[in-house]
Amino acid sequence: MERKYSLEGINISVLEGEFLAVMGETGSGKSTFCRLLNGIIPHFYGGHLSGTVTVDGEHTDESSVAHLALKIGMALDDPENQLFTSSVRNEAAFGPENLLFPVKEIEERVKYALSAVGLEGFKERQPMTLSGGEKQRLVIAATLAMNAKILVLDEPLCRLDPEGAAQVMSVLGELKDKHKIAVIMTAHDSKKMLQYADRVCILKEGRIACCGAAKNILSNRTLLEENGIQPPYEADIYSVFTEKTDDCKEHETNIPAVEIKDFSFFYTPENPVAEKINLTIVDNDYIALIGHNGCGKTTLLKGITGLLSPSTGNIFIYGKNTSELSISEISKETGFITQNPDNQLFTDSVYDEVAFALKNAGLSKEEIKQRAENALNMVGLKDMTLFPHALSKADRTRLVFACVIAMGCRIIILDEVDVGQDYTGCLKIMDIANALYSKGFTIIFVTHNMSLVCKYARRLIIMDKKGIVTDVKRKK
Ligand SMILES: Nc1ncnc2c1ncn2[C@@H]1O[C@H](COP(=O)(O)OP(=O)(O)OP(=O)(O)O)[C@@H](O)[C@H]1O
Ligand SMILES: [Mg+2]
């Protein structure tokens, strides 16, 4: 049955200097909760609101979003939708400039906020050219620059590399302790919340399932699991991946699916974004590719899928140089699944979505039907008549999987598909990757979630700006 309310029966107050973590499954109401606090609900969204929300003594429905912005700094969950100025500096300065602060103070705040998130040196860059994690950092910086008494951050950590996430959490911890800032954050990372939050509120289907001291709630495994939250977990990649990968030895026994030779990519030669990468990915490899925000992971994946041409070097797919293949030829071998399935879905039904590229490839009706049904079966999507955008995010990602499987891709590339998914959603998606791996597919996935790396990958590759720094295999 469809739920009548996004949130219902909510009673909660947050103190000055308190850190409240709001947790729960996808769709439980976390983002609605955040949007209520800075007044964009009710002022910008439709819907019906009863009850009251009071921020620093003011009723949000009687105040304006602009006025509430003096008190509340808000980072929404999708950085793409929040960045709109022409430079990183302007983005961080936008809030304080609108509040008409003196120029010197604005520049000080911008400097503080950008360095708090590790974006020193990015001031003149256009926000749209930043990597996923750099965009997320900028959204957090713009929120910090407001110097507000209350910070509301909707899933600020999921695109950040582990060091970036630790840096942001320690800045927030300091603001809370030294300046009595109230922090309200939605998150899936129960280990971080155990470390920093005072209180945890778990939402379930729009209601408060429980609310209490972080250490009590986060030590209750059953409660967490019932609510789709992964209990605090120490993911130690170095104890799971211990064997050095020997490319030459791999080569003798297996066909290389992807060979990357001296790959470099730059927008301007003085600033290479990926440099001298050499890597052999054998058939039926299962790789986790990790590294700092901005180290060039997405750039490398775009190189493999033909979306970018190497500035120098070559990439071979099953022995063929991609520089001699068209994008459509490459896309028959490599399927690229990004963190936003919505950018990849555009028809009216699950079946049409899978059939679309097959029709374009000129296949017969029978073959299209057979391939589409097989692929949907493999990902476990049964109802082929559903409207793609009405599916849950995990199911929308599964649908993109089905599209690339139906095309016959044997190499599946996943770029942070866990972002914006709750733990159950992550497992649903990675279990498909696992099933494909056991059928002989080659899987390459990028993530900042070390528990997924430990649980699924067979080989771990760590990159930094200078190239590949670690290449190890799972302990036998
Ligand atoms: N148009 C551009 N001009 C200049 N630099 C760019 C441009 N596009 C991307 N970059 C830079 O290239 C670097 C590599 O970006 P890439 O998206 O590959 O990083 P990433 O490893 O995927 O990071 P993340 O973990 O944040 O997703 C980043 O520092 C990014 O800012
Ligand atoms: Mg990336």
Pocket flag, ligand 1, residue 169 (CB < 6 Å): no
Residue closest via CA to ligand 1's atom 16 equals 296
> Which of 87, 91, 122, 130 is the best mutation target for the ligand 1 pocket, counting ligand atoms within 8 Å of the beta carbon and taking the most?
130
Contacts 24+ apart (CB under 8 A), 339-346: 339/132, 339/415, 339/416, 339/417, 339/418, 339/419, 339/420, 340/80, 341/393, 341/396, 341/397, 341/399, 341/400, 342/389, 342/396, 344/400, 344/403, 345/388, 345/389, 345/396, 345/399, 345/400
138 lines ligand 1 (CB under 6 A): no
Q: Is 293 in the pocket of ligand 1 (CB under 6 A)?
A: yes
132-143 per-position pLDDT tens digit: 999 999 999 999
Which residue's CA is minimally distant from atom 27 of ligand 1? 132
Task: Give 79 Cα–ligand 1 centroid separation in angstroms.
Answer: 15
Q: What is the pLDDT of residues 224-254, one digit of tens each?
A: 999 999 999 888 999 999 989 876 666 566 6
Counting from 1 in the atom list of ligand 1, the atom nearest the Cα of 302 is: 18
Q: Over its length of 476 residues, how does the chain's per-residue pLDDT go in tens digits?
A: 566 789 999 999 999 999 999 999 988 999 999 999 999 998 988 788 899 999 999 999 999 998 999 999 999 888 988 899 999 999 999 999 988 899 999 999 999 999 999 999 999 999 999 999 999 999 999 999 999 999 999 999 999 999 999 999 999 999 999 999 999 999 999 999 999 999 999 999 999 999 999 999 999 999 999 999 999 988 899 999 998 987 666 656 667 999 999 999 999 888 899 999 999 999 999 999 999 999 999 999 999 999 999 999 999 999 999 999 999 899 999 999 998 888 889 899 999 999 999 999 899 999 999 999 999 999 999 999 999 998 888 899 999 999 999 999 999 999 999 998 899 999 999 999 999 999 999 999 999 999 999 999 999 999 998 899 999 999 98
Does 343 contact ligand 1 (Cβ within 6 A)?
A: no
Q: Is the CB of 134 under 6 A from ligand 1?
A: yes
**Is residue 248 a contact partner of residue 238, using CB atoms and an 8 Å limit?**
no
Taking CA atoms only, the protein residue closest to ligand 1 atom 13 is 294
Q: Is 206 in the pocket of ligand 1 (CB under 6 A)?
A: no
User: Going from the N-terminus, what domains does the chain have, and what CATH number goes with each?
Assistant: 19-226 (3.40.50.300), 237-474 (3.40.50.300)
Q: Is the CB–ligand 1 distance for residue 273 below 6 Å? A: yes
